Chains A and B, each alone.
Chain A
Amino acid sequence: MEVTGFDTWVLSLAVFLPLVGALVIMLIPKVYETELKLVALGSSLVALVVGIYIAIQFDYGAAGDLQFVVDKGWIDVINSRYIVGLDGLSLPLLLLSLVVVPLCLIYSWNHIPDPGNPKAFFVLLLILSTGMNGSFVAQDMILFFVFFEIVLLPMYFLIGVWGGEDRRYASLKFFLYTLFGSALMIISFLALFFLSKDASGELLQTFDMRVLTDAAGVGIIKSTQVWIFAGLFMGFGIKVPMFPFHTWLPDAHTQAPTVGSVILAAVLLKLGTYGFVRIAIPFLPEGAIAWAPWIGLLAVIGIIYGALGCLAQKDMKRLIAFSSVAHMGFVMLGIATLTDFGINAAVFGMIAHGLITGMLFFVAGSVKERYHTLEISRLGGLLKSAPRMGWILGFASMASLGLPGLAGFWGEFPAILSAYNPGAGLSEELFRVYMVIAAIGTVLAAGYLLWLYQRTAFGEPTEEFAGHEIADVNRDEWIAWTPFLIGIVLFGVWPNLIFNVTDDVVSGITASVEAIAAGN
């Protein structure tokens, strides 16, 4: 696609507008609170409008190709370039990220958690937004890495400053854990830079992800690929998070302020799975084939393990956090099959999980705000005290347990289904065992979610809160939540909205994997 005029700008605009907003806010004195909130919301909304423009201009017939590509010199010394571009895999995730941030801003409009300071809070959210948007469009490994790391810092401060009681521990754990993964990841990036060759055997020495995708690991022998993949696996797997690297997640989620949890669940976790699909698998097909059974194993362990963890929780937010581990297990299982089917399901699962778990965290945050506790045994009768919120919680729980007709199902069922016939010569028997285990995981999912719902929403309110007036969903919350609810229904009823967009990219990726597998 020939990129001309305004189209050369749009991607960068969508990425950096929030950052510009953040800079402008920094210049506004603290006392002009409304103005700086408006600037924050405005910049993120304009970014969203740009995102919608991109979605309209996007050529869906060529969803497999990168569009709106910009390729400019950046750091010539190491041959790293400013390359951004968008294909069917990036588009839904970019839109998700663009949608979530303004909604979070609206949600926290009048609810800045202690210790207040909306200016800093909004600035951090906007910087976070730039990092997330950038990660999904970057097509150069160094650029990707920069965006990937930019995300860490605002999140660290969001948790560490505006978090719960144990915030310092949680934020430090989050930061160091993910940084540890990133360190291994950058080593792998460097290894790719130095070792990749093109078809004629010339060393490429490039960070350009387009070139590396085309090269598909040619010239890197299998054992090296396995090692490089291991580095990437640590980097992305911690972010997902995969069992057994998941322990930062419950702490971070529990301590983070509501919108922090929402963004963490809705977008940040997707960076890991996106990395697998965008970088790890296409760059290192042989490494991926070698690792796939193990990824699948960790995925199904995560599914069961996360569900068991949920059953043990006494805190609502922590329970939802553990459910993320289980749900991302389904996503990773889909990826591990290395089939079109599975990876499409995984991408769908990312979006669905983002919407659904984001929604659940929103509700949990609002419950916390009203009850000042999330201890499940102290809650109860939410349907009675705040019926609309109870309904929304029930709706989101149903979506989360994978009810057909809502978004969660289309991430879960095809992922399980894809394990029946894994690609690239992977062991069918092994993956069929995974399939059955994953299917059992759906029972446990229903178990913990409905149990949660029974204990929090059904019945009469506990004595402690019996006389209290519990406010139902307010205006800000409606504005922030409605798009989530609509998205959950819309994608559930018409899953092709996403499958159609991602399919071309994914079949390109699996085709190269299959080609490698056939060559062996």
Chain B
Amino acid sequence: MWMLENAFLIPLIPAISFVVILFFGKRFIGADRVHVVGITALGLVWVLSAVAAFQWTQRVENPPPDAIVQVQHHGDDHGDDHGDDHGDDHGDDHAAASGHSGDGHGDGHGGGHSSPLIRPVISTFSDWWSNAGVTFAVGTFVDGQTVLLLMVVASISLLVHIYSTEYVKGDRRYVHYYAFLSLFTAAMLFFVMAQNIIQLIVGWELVGVCSFALIGHWWEEKPNTDAALKAFLTNRVGDVGLLVGMIVLWGTFKTFDIDVINTLISTNPGAHHFALLVAACCLMAAVASKSGQFPLHTWLPDAMAGPTPVSALIHAATMVVAGVYMIARLYPVFYEGFSIGTSSINLMAFIGGFTALIGAGLAFAQWDIKKVLAYSTVSQLGYMVMALGVGAWTAAIFHLFTHAFFKACLFLGAGSVSHAAHHTFDMRKMGGLRKDMPHTYRTFVISSLALAGIFPFAGFWSKDEILLGSLVGQENGYPLMLIFGCAVALMTAAYMTRVIWYTFHGEYRGHGHPHESPKVMTVPLWILAGMAVLAGAFNLPGPVLEPIGLEGLAHRIQTYAEPSVYLNGLGLSHPDPSLNMALVGLALALSGILITYLYYWRRLGLHGLTERNRYARRGYTILENKYYLDHLYNDVVVETVKRPLAKWANRFNQNVLDRTVNTAGETARDVGRWVYKWIDQGAIDGSVNAAARGADSSGEGLRSIQSGKVQNYGQLLFGAAAVLAIVFVIVV
């Protein structure tokens, strides 16, 4: 288990790579060869992550005695012994994890609950800061969730590194680009293995600043810097929630340790409900900004201003999943705060579902291929948040896992397309690329099918689990979430078909001759496409595997990644797999594809079809009926969604939300100007100056008396003496 205890090496490697590239890259390595450093580092990271992942599975399969949580209660002994035993894992210090493990709702598939509860591996290294006599350690917290994310981040980042060697070749700031890719990866890896919430904050903000640097990579153009600023500032707004939420957690539990906080909540659910609600609401704001949830998602499409591989990295593996990851990491806080177990709707589920819906709607209205994908990311992140909101922890993380691969593939595919087609992202200038770019086309389609949730691609399995989770919920189902989820499933399939149509089918509408990208770009695409097919296999439901006798491999992510040591205490249950739900989901996705396909197909043959309709209308009643059906689908359903709804949503997005953001900024600036001018310079500084002026003018007045002429002084003297004499006479 060496790797699990020394996981700090994993973020350290890209951090060192950052320093090496930035400070020694140009001089000692050569500006055009710095990617060697980055790729080597990421390769190492990948290997170490794989080792960590393997060791974690070993820990679950053959747990060492100190890793298993004793199920009986032995009192609340947290906190006092905390912080004394740095350097080794905490073992059974906080072993009082599960008082509630017995009450299974629909208990038991693929071993989730039947396997023992495995403690995370926590290593602390040194006193990071001590304050008020309390010491906080820096350390790593490694469990299944962590190693899963390690694998995702390492894989995607490695592929992005490789892909970028071609994509940003000859860029004006090649060195900086690779330096920040490394730092970005390091920050995200640091974030996922945070041992306490301070580390979470640190990683969170570092990820944000790296994205700022990468989105603004081409800072000569103002729109790019605007986008970078917007991303950072929107995130900062959410960070207010993060800071306050974390502080509330600290105030409630008097510790920053994630393990202790989770354990305290799960062993004593129901306590501190109000504090947890406040904390959860605040943290939700942070999630909304980082993970692009309504209403703070507006930065995300603008963030497309950065280089495309960066978009892939941001949207698939790093930045935006940080919010989802944080919810999953502090799940007991949200679970108790939002009463996920007992409610049938809550803030998190609603925001997630609503975001999924509006994101999908907006994706229809975009002509920029990257923006479609960006809104798609918004929508899919909403899916994940919604899944967490309905209590489907595993489904959310599973979806995060599968989504990372196919979304990265889509973004890199879009990059490949733009690389070929004169650096444009406008779909109106594309078309017909399937002949010229066969590899890009095939990988793009595979990933789109995965995103759309078509059997047997990865997205199908994870999406199905989310829908199932919404259907069953915990104590109550989440019907509204189910409706949202189904609608989004349909829409996702539809807009992806639209993208494929415009990009790869029809006639080429751009300039020049498009060409397939070189191998260094297509190979990563194929690897990701492969994962888009296979990633679903990591959490297949049992009934699928039983016929082939592999039921032991069912629900691997649930088995390995789920922090059941905490979730069991909360009484989280897992729904039974349902064939019907799967079929409904599949049918929705297929119909989405079908509708869009028909729509565009008809438009393609619009002229001929109309001719035929006009001349042979009565004779072809069935065809005509079909046409009515088409009409219904196309002009009513799709059109309402596509035109008014999406336009409205877009307008709302641009005019209301975005304007609110802008207006807030402008107002703050104007208020600043006003306050500065009238209050600061006018009132406060004015009064200071007035005091000085008062002294000055009184002096000025008295000055006229001092004429310098002796006789004037004499006059005053004698005059005063005379007056005094008169007074003296009168008084005495």
Contact = CB atoms under 8 A, between A and B. Distances in A.
Chains A and B directly touch (beta carbon < 8 Å):
yes
A436 interface: yes
A312 B233 contact: no
A446 B225 contact: no
A398 B247 contact: no
Nearest to B129: A495
A496 B236 contact: no
B205 interface: yes
Interface stretch (B107-115, B403-411, B680-688): B680-688
A345 interface: yes
Given A404-B206, A439-B244, A499-B130, A309 B201 contact: no
Given A405-B206, A460-B220, A311 B129 contact: no
Nearest to A497: B129
Given A247-B680, A312-B675, A405-B206, A496 B243 contact: no
Given A398-B209, A417-B250, A443-B237, A435 B244 contact: yes
Contacts of B229: 450-451, 454
Given A344-B131, A496-B129, A500-B130, A417 B672 contact: no
B685 A458 contact: no
B133 A384 contact: no
B516 interface: no
Given A309-B676, A344-B131, 6 more contacts: A244-B684, A312-B673, A312-B676, A381-B220, A444-B668, A500-B130
Contact of B219 (A417, A439, A459): A459
B130 A311 contact: no
Contacts of B222: 458-459
By CB atoms of chain B within 10 A, which of A173, A247, A384, A457 has the most?
A: A247
B347 interface: no
A258 interface: no
Given A247-B688, A340-B133, A446-B232, A420 B251 contact: yes
Interface stretch (A1-9, A70-78, A185-193, A408-416): A408-416
A15 interface: no
A442 B131 contact: no
A446 B234 CA distance: 10
Nearest to B222: A459
A444 B233 CA distance: 9
Interface size class of B (residues with CB under 8 A): 35 or more
B665 interface: yes
B354 to A, nearest CB: 24
A308 B678 CA distance: 13
Contacts of B201: 404, 413
A165 B362 CA distance: 55
A507 B202 contact: no
B127 A403 contact: no
25 contacts: A173-B692, A176-B692, A308-B675, A308-B676, A309-B675, A309-B676, A344-B131, A404-B201, A405-B206, A414-B131, A416-B243, A420-B247, A420-B250, A439-B240, A439-B243, A440-B240, A447-B236, A447-B668, A450-B212, A459-B225, A494-B128, A496-B129, A499-B129, A500-B130, A503-B130
A383 interface: yes
Contact of A443 (B236, B248, B676): B236
Interface residues of A, number: 57
B223 to A, nearest CB: 11
A173 B216 CA distance: 42
Given A177-B688, A420-B248, A450-B232, A410 B206 contact: no
Contacts of B244: 435-436, 439
Interface string A411-452: 001101100110000000000000110011011101100110
Nearest to A443: B236
Interface of A: 173, 176-177, 244, 247-248, 305, 307-313, 339-341, 344-345, 381, 383-384, 398, 403-405, 409-410, 413-414, 416-417, 420-421, 435-436, 439-440, 442-444, 446-447, 450-451, 454, 457-460, 494-496, 499-500, 503, 507
By CB atoms of chain A within 10 A, which of B132, B219, B248, B251 has the most?
A: B132
A333 B688 CA distance: 25
Interface in B200-249: 201-202, 205-206, 209, 212, 216, 219-222, 225-226, 229, 232-233, 236-237, 239-240, 243-244, 247-248
Nearest to A416: B243
Contacts of A410: 129
A310 B226 CA distance: 19
B132 A443 contact: no
Contacts of A499: 129-131
B128 A496 contact: yes
A331 B198 CA distance: 20
Contact of B225 (A344, A458, A503): A458
Nearest to B208: A403
A314 B665 CA distance: 17
A312 B682 CA distance: 14
A256 to B, nearest CB: 17
Given A446-B233, A496-B127, A507 B676 contact: no
B78 interface: no
Interface in B472-510: none
B671 interface: yes
A503 B128 CA distance: 14
A496 B677 contact: no
B669 interface: yes
